[in-house]
């Protein structure tokens, strides 16, 4: 809470927090979600419809009364901290310098009374993930457009660093629009002054190896992420995927991608080569520029199209919905962040509580001294984030973490601990933690970590990423959990054979095949034999090339 206000006597910490929040909300005038409909901002933009809301901003459709055009307005919450406001301003400055048909345009940035807002292009299209999987020629065309937009951004001096399907929209005429340059960074070193070195923030499935290790980035990180997007488009699956964050990071750093043709036979060789080159682990082995990658994809389009007989291993998703209005995707977060503290040291909890209550928009809704109490308070107090210590008497944080993730999947778990051993980091991430931050972190770093976890980012605190990846590399590849017969069975499943056909191919009784499959599904923790085959393909345990022996 503000330093000039002290707790009301005999109030619980949660009551103090709620009282303070109510007072500050009234003082700052945080608007109800629809209260701005009909208002005119800056004597120019008439707000028409709520489109979405996030932890730090609300997005509306509006009418530019001066130019008579539809726009989208991103209104920053009045309670956000100075760090977030700087990031908001940086997003505006970044996007304002970018003027390209493949990049969402920014029109204006201003302030109306207490509201800071950003006016951007209204995107009337559909997210790229609606088109996955896609025809190879469509993949090449979309990929070429992405690369040309990135080439422009790179030459202007910016790296996006968060290329993924959710940040790419397709207009009805086929034009690609790259969105969310809020994570874009200047390539002149300014990034180092805005984000702590050694911190990983992003989407693990699309991180480049250098991002996963917290290394300096250049334009080639965007090419790697684009390669993952194109791989997913052409095959319907991600090249690197696992049930825990640590395994994904290790795959990004070390594991070669399975050639797309092994999953989707019949794709053009030129397209496969372009994708695999973009996915090279060493930046020097990738395309040198986005333009070079665009040229490689253009070569695919110049080839004579041939009918595709490819059958993806993964089941086809439901038909994509028709074109519809779309905006920057935002999760439905309340403007405030409700935080539960779990630590067995009373002084630590109290210090954290006083600090967090001093952050506008944060509410501490409870404190727990052990894992069981934390689990109970989650059900009672409905927090958005739990700051969880790992070592507590009774039920530890590490022991309670899997139960929290299973019972309360929407609650973000940010581990806050003094343990920096690699084994603890790996165990916490595998148990489902959304982030891992050390208690030695500064208050600013902790505040930023809470915000980033709420935005859906993986957060690895200062120094944690390097320890994690280095440890994974030193351990070497994991052992294949399948024996020879199980590999043969899953290879047949991946090729599309049903149980009787698998039995015929392998000369086994059908009931024996079923028994093996049940055991495999149980051991791998998946839901079906198809999921098991996909996991085996992704991990490199089986290959469709092995079908020749049947």
Could you tell me where the DSSP H helices lie in 255-318? 260-263, 269-278, 290-302
Is residue 344 part of the annotated active site? The answer reads no
Dist. CA 1–CA 360, nearest whole Å:
8
Cα 69 versus chain centre, distance: 32
Residue 98 · residue 181 · CB < 8 Å: yes
| Strand 176-178 with 337-342, pairing | unpaired
Identify the CA nearest to 3 among candidates 20, 28, 22.
20
Residues shown for the chain: 550
- C-beta atoms surrounding 216 within 10 Å: 10
Edge-to-edge strands, sheet with 106-112: 40-41, 45-53, 57-64, 69-76, 115-121, 106-112
Report CA torsion sign: 131, 204, 248, 417: negative
Edge-to-edge strands, sheet with 126-127: 126-127, 168-170, 176-178
- For 105, residues 6+ apart whose C-beta sits below 8 A from its C-beta are 95, 98, 99, 120, 121
Residue 145 · residue 138 · CB < 8 Å: no
Residue 291 · residue 248 · CB < 8 Å: no
> Both tokens of residue 256?
């070669």
Distances (CA, A) of 171 to 101, 176, 229, 322, 484: 11, 6, 18, 11, 48
Phi, psi of 111, rounded to the nearest 5 degrees: -135, 130
Beta bridge partners of 200: 460
Catalytic residue among 108, 110, 162, 452: 162
Convert 3-28 to b/e letters by CB count within 10 Å (16 or more is b): eeeebeeeeebbebbbebbeebbeee
- DSSP readout, 162-188? --SGGGEEE-TTS-EEE--GGG-EETT
Dist. CA 482–CA 538, nearest whole Å:
14
- Known catalytic residues are 162
């Amino acid at each position: 809470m503000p330093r000039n206000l002290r707790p009301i006597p005999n109030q619980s910490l949660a009551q103090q927090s709620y009282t303070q929040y109510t007072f500050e909300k009234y003082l700052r005038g945080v608007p109800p979600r629809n209260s701005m409909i009909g208002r005119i901002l800056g004597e120019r933009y008439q707000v028409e419809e709520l489109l979405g809301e996030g932890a730090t901003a609300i997005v509306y459709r509006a009418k530019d009364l001066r130019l008579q055009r539809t726009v989208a307005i991103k209104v920053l919450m009045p309670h956000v901290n100075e760090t977030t406001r700087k990031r908001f301003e940086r997003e505006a400055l970044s996007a304002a310098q970018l003027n390209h048909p493949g990049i969402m345009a920014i029109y204006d940035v201003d302030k109306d009374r207490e509201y800071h807002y950003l006016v951007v292009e209204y995107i009337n299209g559909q997210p790229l993930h609606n088109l996955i999987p896609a025809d190879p020629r469509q993949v090449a065309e979309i990929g070429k457009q992405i690369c040309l937009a990135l080439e422009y951004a790179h030459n202007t001096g910016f790296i996006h660093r968060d290329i993924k399907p959710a940040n790419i929209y397709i207009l009805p005429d086929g034009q690609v629009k790259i969105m969310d340059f809020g994570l874009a960074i200047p390539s002149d070193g300014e990034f180092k002054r805005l984000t702590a070195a050694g911190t990983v923030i992003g989407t693990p499935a699309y991180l480049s190896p250098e991002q996963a290790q917290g290394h300096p980035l250049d334009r080639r990180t965007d090419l790697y992420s684009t390669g993952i997007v194109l791989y997913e488009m052409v095959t319907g699956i991600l090249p690197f995927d696992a049930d825990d964050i640590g395994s994904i990071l290790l795959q990004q750093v070390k594991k070669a991608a399975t050639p797309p043709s092994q999953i989707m036979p019949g794709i053009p060789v030129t397209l496969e080569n372009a994708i695999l080159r973009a996915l090279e682990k060493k930046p020097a082995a990738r395309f040198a520029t986005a333009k070079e990658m665009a040229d490689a994809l253009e070569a695919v389009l110049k080839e004579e199209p041939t009918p595709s007989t490819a059958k993806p291993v993964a089941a086809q998703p439901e038909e994509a919905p028709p074109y519809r209005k779309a905006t920057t995707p935002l999760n439905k977060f309340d403007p405030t962040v409700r935080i539960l503290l779990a630590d067995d040291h009373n002084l630590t909890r109290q210090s954290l509580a006083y600090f967090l209550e001093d952050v506008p928009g944060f509410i501490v809704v409870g404190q727990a001294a052990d894992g069981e109490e934390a689990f109970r308070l989650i059900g009672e107090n409905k927090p958005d984030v739990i700051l969880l210590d790992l070592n507590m008497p009774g039920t530890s944080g590490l022991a309670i973490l899997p139960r929290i993730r299973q019972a309360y999947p929407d609650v973000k778990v940010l581990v806050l601990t003094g343990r920096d051993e690699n084994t603890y980091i790996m165990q916490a991430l595998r148990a489902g933690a959304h982030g891992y931050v050390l208690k030695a972190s500064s208050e600013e770093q902790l505040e930023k970590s809470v915000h980033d976890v709420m935005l859906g980012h993986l957060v690895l605190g200062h120094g944690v990423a390097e320890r994690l990846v280095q440890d994974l590399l030193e351990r070497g590849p994991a052992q294949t959990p399948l024996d020879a017969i199980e590999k043969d069975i899953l290879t047949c499943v991946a090729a599309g054979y049903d149980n009787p056909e698998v039995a015929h191919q392998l000369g086994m009784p059908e009931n024996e095949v079923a028994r093996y499959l049940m055991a495999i599904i149980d051991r791998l923790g998946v839901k079906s034999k198809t999921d098991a085959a996909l996991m085996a393909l992704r991990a490199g345990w089986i290959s469709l090339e092995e079908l020749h022996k049947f």
